[in-house]
Amino acid sequence: MVSNDFLGHLPSNIGSLFLPNLQVLTLGNNELSRTIPNSILNALELIMLDLSHNSFSSSIPEAIVGNLSTSLQRLYLYDCNIKGNIPEEIGNLSNLIDLRLFHNELGGPVPTTIGRLHMLQGLVLYGNRLKGSIPYTLCHLGSLDTLSLSGNELYGHILACIDNITSLRTLDLGFNQLNLTDNITSLRTLDLGFNQLTFSIPSSLWRLLITDLLLVDFSSNSLNGPLSLDIGNMNVLRALDFSRNQIIGRIPVTIVNRLDGSIPTSIGELVSLDVLDLSYNNLYGEIPKSLEELSYLKHLNLSFNKLQGEIPSRGQFVHFPATSFMSNNGLCSEARMQVPPCKGKKAIGIRILKYVSMAVGLMRRISHQEIIRATKGFSANSLLGEGSFGFVYKGTLLEGTIVAIKVLNLQVLRNIRHWNLVKIITACCNMDFKALVLEYMPNGNLDMWLYSENRCLNMLQRLNIMIDVATVVEYLHLGYTTPTIHCDLKPTNVLLDEDMVGYVADFGIAKLLGDGVSLTQTMTLATIGYMAPEYGYEGLVSTRGDVYSYGILLMETFTRKKPTDDMFTGEMSLKSLVQESLALSILEVVDANLLINENDYAAMEKCLLSTMGLALHCCADLPKQRIGIENVLATLNKIKLKFLKDLTGR
């Protein structure tokens, strides 16, 4: 009975309605209010009770906790406005595996009786008003995998005995008033941000963390002294945040190869890095160009340092905002970075090439005859595919370079340049023939991978590809004063390089929006199934139309169902199918290959629910109801980070 918009309150006799063997009761995501009735205790065989995401205004009934002691394994009362203290009787739930009470208004101490729950694997109490110290009895939870107490009012020391919990993978104690011990082992995620840590981090702590740690957050404390050399042995590290501390000295040589007091060039070798936050320190020197090679870097914050020189402009730097570099008085770049222009650099004006404004004049020009030779006379064997405005051929240039050659109208490409846009190698142009010579993508397009019989994309690959596409769309919409609308986002226009990085192609029908928020297109050139309703009915083109197409593309990427599939007739559509699945079972509509190739179904299900919910926000019927692509990108990055945390926390 999840997500049915039920109103009112649960009847006081609800327990008498249960069959004796009822094992699962889920009433989450409704609008239930008032109290949780004591009669629920009559369901003595209950294994799972989920009343999350409601609006109760009562406390947790002590009777419920006490009388379900032999059966209940999962208790989910999160985000439902419950008040009062966590009852001591919670310790009677001897078979409890997962306890989630986060995002409520619970106060008082963390009950010491929780230490009796020897089967407990997940204790998630963040976002309440819990007070006092962390009880010593939690160290008795030998099966505990996840401990999340962040966002409360806890104080004192983090227990030294927590080292006894060898199964612990995620320790989330941020936003409290805690101090640290150095006996913590085997963690994957360590979040101690916004506490009162006031010491130099000892080497003994780092040596205990070097094996599996992926995410570390020590931000906004009062840590001092230098970083330990042992930090460099954290070989699987994905995110490290030491911002807003008092750390001194240089970055340890164990992280990088060469140091000179600035950000070392070889930090670009941390190829899996997602987040790099070095803000509020005393770093100086230039930002190394090697950071442009960090293709997975989604968040960069170098603000409030003493950096100087030119801000890099390639790679992921094309969409980092000005706030990533603020309060570094020696930096220079283009105007959008809100820093002075670099001396000796000419301001970028209007590019005046008639068809391609990229620096084609600096490229080797290629003749029509060479294109004919490279494509074997545009033979059928060289044909890669057909775009909206022409054909794409595979060709080999005289020097042996394999390229893709597309014949199209190049007008819209005048100011387009982004890391995840297919690169233009050169061009051929005469009175009767216009063609681009593009970088060849050896892994074809997304459509080929989705519908292949012998190849499959895993969950993380699909997320990364869709993030790549979103970065391009954000750039098109917001990267210049004149927004560009792609108009034809679909799987065949998402190309994949040798590293499975997604690139957006086919700008044959793209539109420059100018000063308005929309324009009217008299010819319907987008692809049926992906175009926004207002484009099909009225010819109305806007950036929100691209967002709609992106939402459909997002659904297709994870369901492996085309919006034009024969199964979608009448009122049934890909959008409605996904919408219904959110209330029932999202795993029933996703690509079956994902279920075969992913091991952690719980993490995958949560990720899919969030991703498909985002897709539906993109596909709202009215343009003004759709979210902007910048918010789409930010949300999808958060979904990915949460998915990684869920995987590593298990």
* pLDDT tens-place string over residues 161-217: 776 787 887 778 877 887 765 455 556 666 666 666 665 665 555 555 555 566 677
* Full domain range(s) for residue 367: 360-439
Asked if the structure places residue 503 within a domain, the reply is yes
CB atoms within 10 A of CB 160: 14
546 and 421 fall within a common domain: no
470 with 518, same domain: the answer is yes
Quick check: is 222 in a domain? no
pLDDT tens digits for range 495-540: 888 888 888 876 544 444 444 444 444 344 567 888 888 876 666 7
- Out of 439, 462, 488, a domain closes at 439
pLDDT for position 227? 65
| pLDDT of res. 482 | 65
At which residue do the structure tokens 């008003």 appear? 129
Measured distance CA(244)–CA(174) in Å, rounded? 14
- 292 in any annotated domain: no
Q: Indicate the helix (H) or strand (E) that contains 560.
A: none
CA angle 187, 189, 195 (to 5 degrees): 110
For residue 524, what pLDDT is reported? 43
Residue 343 annotated as binding site: no
Q: Is 259 exposed, middle or buried (0-12, 13-18, 19+ CB in 10 A)?
A: middle
**Of 417, 439, 461, at which residue does a domain stop?**
439
Q: In which residue ranges of the chain is pLDDT below 70?
A: 1-21, 29-31, 33-34, 37-43, 63-69, 160, 163, 180-215, 220-222, 224-240, 242-261, 266, 344-369, 385-391, 406-438, 479-482, 506-526, 536-539, 597-599, 649-650
Residues 456 and 418 in one domain: no
C-alpha dist (Å) from residue 484 to 477, 491, 495, 516, 541: 6, 19, 19, 12, 11
Number of H helices, E strands in the chain: 11, 34
Note whether 135 and 110 are within 8 A (CB).
yes
Let me know whether 592 and 556 are in one domain.
Answer: yes
**Which secondary-structure segment (H or E) carries 625?**
none
How much is the pLDDT for 225?
A: 66
Whether residue 497 is found in the same domain as residue 527: yes
Domain count, the chain: 2
In the set 488, 506, 546, 646, the catalytic residue is 488
CATH code of residue 409: 3.30.200.20
- Which of helix, strand or coil describes residue 392? strand
> Do 512 and 534 sit in the same domain of this protein?
yes
Q: Is residue 495 part of a domain?
A: yes
451 shares its domain with 416: no
488 is catalytic: yes
pLDDT of residue 112: 94
* CA separation for the pair 251, 253 (Å, rounded): 6
Q: Which two tokens stand for residue 574?
A: 């890909």
On whether residue 640 sits in a domain, the answer given is yes
459 in the same domain as 409: no
Residues 410 and 452 in one domain: no
The predicted structure's pLDDT at residue 16: 54
In a domain, 248, yes or no: no
Q: What is the CATH number of the domain that holds 462?
A: 1.10.510.10
426 and 469 together in one domain? no
Q: Which pLDDT belongs to residue 41?
A: 64
Of 439, 469, 496, the one marking the end of a domain is 439
From the list 558, 583, 554, 579, the residue with the least C-alpha distance to 568 is 579
Question: Is the Cα torsion angle 520, 522, 526, 531 positive or negative in sign?
Answer: positive
CB-based contact 121:97 (threshold 8 Å): yes
Note whether 400 and 364 are same-domain residues: yes
Q: Flag whether 142 is in a domain.
A: no
Asked whether residue 479 is assigned to any structural domain, the reply reads yes
Q: How confident is the model at residue 64, as a pLDDT?
A: 62
Position 264 scores a pLDDT of: 75
Mark whether 557 and 504 lie in a shared domain. yes
Contact yes or no for 474/480 (Cβ under 8 A):
no
